Structure 1
């Protein structure tokens, strides 16, 4: 039925080419990536001093979720 040869690129070949090119790009980017050492953030004393306040609703949360049974 179809005796004509297709010239150009059809949808299936286009998707194969795009996926192959993206795979090569990701592999190249991963190969050139050099990880560096992670450093922890130290907020300091003044930033941590007043954040945690054990209010009544915090105590109720601990009680309801069974955290007071974890005390030694």
Structure 2
């Protein structure tokens, strides 16, 4: 019995090999997605301008969710 060759894969061996394969595939796929970094195109005045506008749909959202108005 002990001289028989092992033909099945243990669970630990399977998980170890599957994990290594996933790491290798992830590294291969992630490499081409990395690009050069770009600087922010807004100047100081554009960064400080007001962006929030209380429009009709915002007022409806507040009313439906019972925010104090």
TM over 0.5: no
TM-score, length-scaled by structure 1: 0.43
**TM-score (normalised: structure 2):** 0.45
**Greater radius of gyration (CA):** 1
